[in-house]
Amino acid sequence: MQWNSIQLKQEKGVGLITLNRPQAFNALNSELIQELNQALDLLEQDNSIGCMVITGAEKAFAAGADIKEMVDLSFPEIYLDDFFHLADRVAQRRKPLIAAVSGYALGGGCELALMCDFIYCADNAKFALPEVTLGVLPGIGGTQRLTRAIGKAKAMEMCLTGRQMGAQEAEQSGLVAQVFAKEQLLIESLAAAEQIAQKSLTSLMMIKESINRSFEVSLAEGLRFERRIFHAIFASAEQKEGMRAFIEKRPAKFKPESSE
């Protein structure tokens, strides 16, 4: 497959997608979003892949939606086409997805990172939702996901002022899981992804589904859901393998059941 605005690599059970529009700080245009979803489709269908990483360049993860592509759109065009529904599909992915953010993650770039399961960032990372300075508002989940990630006070402040948040504050606020020196970011992100990819895909996907469920339902419903899928995982060969491996004092060997 030929890619124009991204690069795709698969190694050691990990799919690495690199956003690749250096001329525009990886601004998300329709081609990039389409290619990103095509690549994620391929990785999700590939049983050898257990974890995916989305990264950008050292200076910019992504500087937001492509303003030059959007500026003259009319309401019917943006409403009928709704091409950003494709961006939202990133959040519906079932396999674990890590955002490795270096440099700017602005507007739609920050929202893309927020759609991933967790964010690792470099010490030069800058997060912002600056849509207010363009006379619009975040529209790919920013007001919702940022608020859930860092709470109302900081989310309101960031969205209303458009200010940038640096890496240390992002870690203290719970926006990112860990901060690394920029030379280490990809190494550490791939190491975590490889570690995840060696686990049982069934349990990974169930954990992801269960944590995400906690944002949608009451605690009692979330606990009920977790308990039911905990029961269900006893139907998997991976549960038997994981527990037998512990008893036999050997590393577990997981393999997707569909590929057996």
Rounded to whole angstroms, how far apart are CA atoms 203 and 257?
12
Q: In this complex, which beta carbon is closest to ligand DAK, that of residue 53 or of residue 110?
A: 110
Are 193 and 52 spatial neighbours (Cβ–Cβ below 8 Å)?
A: yes
The residues that are catalytic are 65, 108, 111, 131
Site for ligand DAK in 82-121 (CB under 6 A): 84, 104, 106-108
The number of helix segments (H) and strand segments (E) in the chain equals: 12, 10
Question: CB of 98: closest distance to ligand DAK in angstroms?
Answer: 21
Are 19 and 62 spatial neighbours (Cβ–Cβ below 8 Å)?
A: yes
Tell me, residue by residue from 3 to 42, as one string, x for binding to ligand DAK by CB under 6 A and - for no binding.
Answer: ---------------------xx-x---------------
Question: CB of 177: closest distance to ligand DAK in angstroms?
Answer: 23
Q: Does 68 bind ligand DAK (CB under 6 A)?
A: yes
Rounded to whole angstroms, how far apart are CA atoms 54 and 19?
7
Q: Does 160 bind ligand DAK (CB under 6 A)?
A: no
Q: In this complex, which beta carbon is closest to ligand DAK, that of residue 104 or of residue 254?
A: 104
For tokens 């469920």, what's the residue?
213
For tokens 């674990």, what's the residue?
96
Stretch that binds ligand DAK, among 61-69, 174-182, 192-200, 247-255 (CB under 6 A): 61-69
Torsion over CA: 160, 164, 170, 173 (sign): negative
Q: In this complex, which beta carbon is closest to ligand DAK, that of residue 167 or of residue 204?
A: 167
Question: CB of 82: closest distance to ligand DAK in angstroms?
Answer: 7
Which DSSP symbol is given to 119? Answer: E
Of the candidates 63, 116, 121, 165, which one interacts with ligand DAK according to CB under 6 A? 63
Among 251, 201, 216, residue whose Cα is nearest residue 48: 201
DSSP labels, 12-44: TTEEEEEE--GGGTT-B-HHHHHHHHHHHHHHH
Question: CB of 32: closest distance to ligand DAK in angstroms?
Answer: 11
Q: Reduced to 3 states, what is the DSSP secondary structure of residue 115? A: helix
Of the candidates 35, 117, 131, 238, which one interacts with ligand DAK according to CB under 6 A? 131
Per CB under 6 A, residues contacting ligand DAK are: 24-25, 27, 63-68, 78, 84, 104, 106-108, 130-131, 134, 139-140
